[in-house]
Structure 1
Amino acid sequence: MPTMNNIQIFHSYKNSVSLYWNSDTHEYRIIRDNQIWFESGPFVIHFNQTYYSSAPEQEIMPMLPLYLIEQYQKIGNDVIFGLFNKLSLRWSYINTTNNFIWETSFKIFQEQSIILFEQYFPVDLNGMSQGNVRDTFKYVSTAFPRFKVSFNETDQYLIDQLGHFTFLDAWDLNMRGIGLKNVFNGGLYSGNPLLLYNLTKLDSNIILSSLTNFMTNFQTRSPSLNYHLSCGLHGRIHQIEQSFSLTTILLASQSKQGINQIINLWGKLMLQYYGKEHVKEQKDFHNDFYVSKLGYYTDTGAYYWYNKEANLTYEQTFIKLKEYHLKEHIPIQYYELDSYWYYKQNNNTGEHGGIKLYEPRPDVFPNGIEILQREILKTPLIVHHKYYSTDNLYQNKYQFLNGSDGKVSLPLEQIFFNKIFSQIKQWGVEILIQDWLSSVYEDMPDSSWDIHTAREYHLHLAEGSKQAGIKLIYCMPLIPDIIETLENTQVHYMRVSDDYSENINQWNIGRVSIITWAIGIIPFKDTFWTTSIQPQSPYGNFTEPNVQLNALIALMSLGMNNRDTETNFIDKFSIHRIIRIFIKECMSLIRER
Structure 2
Amino acid sequence: MAVLQRSLVLLVTFIHLSHGKLSFAKQKLHITMYTDGMYSIGVNQDTWLTSADTYIYASGTKQTGGQGLKLVETNGVSGVDKLGNWNGLTFQYLVPSINVSFHATIKVYENFVVFAQNFKTQVQGTTSGEFDSVISSFPSFGVGSGNTSLGYVSFGGNMVGDTHMKWGRFKSPDATLNYGIIGGPLVLFDSGSDAIIIAPFSQFMAASLYHDVTGNSVHWGVMGGVNTVPENYVYETILFYSPDGVNRAFSEWGRLIKFYYDKDESYRKSDLTINYLGYWTDNGAFYYYNTETNTTYERTMIDVRKYTVVEKIPYRYFQFDSWFYPKDEYGGVTTWVAMEGIFPDGLRYVWNALDLPIAAHNRYWSSQTTYAIQNGGKFKFLLEPPKAIPVDQTFWDSFHQDAKQWGLIMYEQDWLDVEFGMNITRSDIYLGREWLLQMGAGARKNDLTIQYCMSLPRHAMQSLEIPVVTQARVSGDYQPGNDQWRIGISSMFADALGLAPFKDTFWTTTNQTGNKYGKSEPNIVLQSAVATLSTGPVGPSDKIGATDLNLLMRCCNQDGLILKPSRPATAIDKQLHRLAFDDGVGPAGEIWTTYTEISGYYFGIILAADLSEMYPLTPQDTGFQFGTPKIFSYNEGHLEAMNFSEQYPLKLQDCPKEAPCVWYTSSIFQVGTNEILIYGEVNKWVTMSPQRVQEILVSDDLEIHLQGSPGELVNFAFSVNGDSIQDIYCSIGNDGTAILRFNSKNCS
TM-score normalised per structure 2: 0.70
Aligned AA for 1:433? Answer: E
Match of 2:278, SS state, is strand
Sort the Cα spacing of 1:495 and 1:244 in 2 relative to 1 into closer, same or farther, 3 A.
same
Structure 2 residue corresponding to 1:118, chosen from 116, 119, 122: 116
CA displacement at 1:523 relative to structure 2: 0.4
Match of 1:340, SS state, is helix
Structure 2 residue corresponding to 1:29, chosen from 40, 56, 59: 40
Alignment pair present for 1:417 and 2:396: yes
Greater alpha carbon shift after TM alignment, 406-415 vs 70-79: 70-79
Counterpart CA distance in 2 for 1:161 and 1:231 is: 22
- Equivalent residue for 2:56? 45
CA displacement at 1:6 relative to structure 2: 3.5
What CA deviation, in whole Å up to 9, does each residue of 1:27-71 have, x standing for no partner?
Answer: 22222211221111121111211111114xxxxxxxx23111122
- Equivalent residue for 2:617? none
CA displacement at 1:274 relative to structure 2: 0.7
Alignment of 1:288-437 (within 5 A): 288-346=271-329, 353-374=331-352, 376-396=353-373, 397-403=378-384, 406-437=385-416
CA displacement at 1:179 relative to structure 2: 1.5
Alignment pair present for 1:213 and 2:209: no
Counterpart CA distance in 2 for 1:213 and 1:130 is: 18
Alignment pair present for 1:167 and 2:155: yes
What CA deviation, in whole Å up to 9, does each residue of 1:546-575 have, x standing for no partner?
Answer: 111000111111222221111122333433
Alignment pair present for 1:589 and 2:689: yes
Counterpart CA distance in 2 for 1:314 and 1:191 is: 39
CA displacement at 1:8 relative to structure 2: 2.3
Alignment of 1:133-148 (within 5 A): 136-148=130-142
What CA deviation, in whole Å up to 9, does each residue of 1:436-455 have, x standing for no partner?
Answer: 1111223x121111111111
Sort the Cα spacing of 1:524 and 1:101 in 2 relative to 1 into closer, same or farther, 3 A.
same
Counterpart CA distance in 2 for 1:450 and 1:164 is: 31
CA displacement at 1:535 relative to structure 2: 1.3
Please tell me whether the aligned partners of residues 113 and 251 of structure 1 are also in contact (alpha carbons under 8 angstroms).
yes
Alignment pair present for 1:105 and 2:75: no
Aligned AA for 1:49? Answer: G
Counterpart CA distance in 2 for 1:174 and 1:312 is: 42
Aligned AA for 2:526? Answer: L
CA displacement at 1:470 relative to structure 2: 0.3
Sort the Cα spacing of 1:576 and 1:35 in 2 relative to 1 into closer, same or farther, 3 A.
closer
Please tell me whether the aligned partners of residues 408 and 439 of structure 1 are also in contact (alpha carbons under 8 angstroms).
no
Aligned AA for 1:105? Answer: T
Please tell me whether the aligned partners of residues 481 and 522 of structure 2 are also in contact (alpha carbons under 8 angstroms).
no
Match of 2:689, SS state, is helix
Alignment pair present for 1:491 and 2:494: no
- Equivalent residue for 2:190? 198
Counterpart CA distance in 1 for 2:79 and 2:553 is: 59
Match of 2:75, SS state, is strand
Please tell me whether the aligned partners of residues 533 and 544 of structure 1 are also in contact (alpha carbons under 8 angstroms).
yes
CA displacement at 1:418 relative to structure 2: 0.4
- Equivalent residue for 1:153? none
Alignment of 1:14-25 (within 5 A): 16-23=28-35, 25=36
What CA deviation, in whole Å up to 9, does each residue of 1:331-382 have, x standing for no partner?
Answer: 2221111111112124xxxxx51111111111111111111111x1101110
Counterpart CA distance in 1 for 2:420 and 2:167 is: 25
CA displacement at 1:526 relative to structure 2: 0.8
Aligned AA for 1:452? Answer: Y
Counterpart CA distance in 2 for 1:416 and 1:503 is: 40
CA displacement at 1:246 relative to structure 2: 0.4
Greater alpha carbon shift after TM alignment, 26-35 vs 46-55: 26-35
Structure 2 residue corresponding to 1:240, chosen from 221, 229, 234: 229
Structure with more of its chain in strand, by fraction: 2
Counterpart CA distance in 2 for 1:412 and 1:441 is: 13
Unpaired runs of 5+ residues, structure 1, are: 56-63, 151-156, 347-351
Counterpart CA distance in 1 for 2:271 and 2:457 is: 27
Alignment pair present for 1:274 and 2:261: yes
What CA deviation, in whole Å up to 9, does each residue of 1:92-134 have, x standing for no partner?
Answer: 2228xx945211111122xx21221110012211112233xxx
Counterpart CA distance in 1 for 2:275 and 2:33 is: 53
- Equivalent residue for 1:231? 220
Greater alpha carbon shift after TM alignment, 10-19 vs 353-362: 10-19
Counterpart CA distance in 2 for 1:321 and 1:31 is: 59
What CA deviation, in whole Å up to 9, does each residue of 1:417-444 have, x standing for no partner?
Answer: 00111011111111110111111223x1
Please tell me whether the aligned partners of residues 208 and 221 of structure 2 are also in contact (alpha carbons under 8 angstroms).
yes
Aligned AA for 1:391? Answer: Q
Counterpart CA distance in 2 for 1:463 and 1:5 is: 51
Counterpart CA distance in 2 for 1:173 and 1:529 is: 26
Q: Which has the higher contact order (CA 8 A, sep 6+)?
A: 1
Unpaired runs of 5+ residues, structure 2, are: 13-26, 564-680, 697-748
Aligned AA for 1:164? Answer: Y
Counterpart CA distance in 1 for 2:481 and 2:61 is: 45
CA displacement at 1:412 relative to structure 2: 0.2
Counterpart CA distance in 1 for 2:453 and 2:356 is: 22
Match of 1:516, SS state, is helix
Alignment pair present for 1:66 and 2:69: yes
Match of 1:219, SS state, is strand
Aligned AA for 2:219? Answer: S
What CA deviation, in whole Å up to 9, does each residue of 1:149-192 have, x standing for no partner?
Answer: 15xxxxxx335421223415543476543215442132233332
Alignment of 1:140-159 (within 5 A): 140-150=134-144, 157-159=145-147
Counterpart CA distance in 2 for 1:191 and 1:266 is: 15
Sort the Cα spacing of 1:186 and 1:161 in 2 relative to 1 into closer, same or farther, 3 A.
farther
- Equivalent residue for 1:178? 169
Sort the Cα spacing of 1:578 and 1:38 in 2 relative to 1 into closer, same or farther, 3 A.
closer
Please tell me whether the aligned partners of residues 138 and 222 of structure 1 are also in contact (alpha carbons under 8 angstroms).
no
Aligned-pair identity in percent equals: 29
Counterpart CA distance in 2 for 1:284 and 1:187 is: 30
Sort the Cα spacing of 1:399 and 1:85 in 2 relative to 1 into closer, same or farther, 3 A.
same
Please tell me whether the aligned partners of residues 112 and 239 of structure 2 are also in contact (alpha carbons under 8 angstroms).
yes
Match of 1:561, SS state, is coil
Counterpart CA distance in 2 for 1:301 and 1:283 is: 28
Counterpart CA distance in 2 for 1:212 and 1:90 is: 21
Please tell me whether the aligned partners of residues 30 and 45 of structure 2 are also in contact (alpha carbons under 8 angstroms).
no
Sort the Cα spacing of 1:7 and 1:34 in 2 relative to 1 into closer, same or farther, 3 A.
farther
What CA deviation, in whole Å up to 9, does each residue of 1:209-251 have, x standing for no partner?
Answer: 110001111122135x714111001111111111111011112
Counterpart CA distance in 1 for 2:199 and 2:426 is: 20
Alignment pair present for 1:448 and 2:460: no
Counterpart CA distance in 2 for 1:259 and 1:213 is: 25
Match of 2:504, SS state, is coil
RMSD of Structure 2 on Structure 1 (CA): 2.3
Please tell me whether the aligned partners of residues 26 and 54 of structure 1 are also in contact (alpha carbons under 8 angstroms).
no
Poorly superposed stretches of 4+, deviation over 6 Å: none
Match of 1:231, SS state, is strand
CA displacement at 1:578 relative to structure 2: 4.6
CA displacement at 1:512 relative to structure 2: 0.8
Please tell me whether the aligned partners of residues 173 and 512 of structure 1 are also in contact (alpha carbons under 8 angstroms).
no
Aligned AA for 2:383? Answer: N
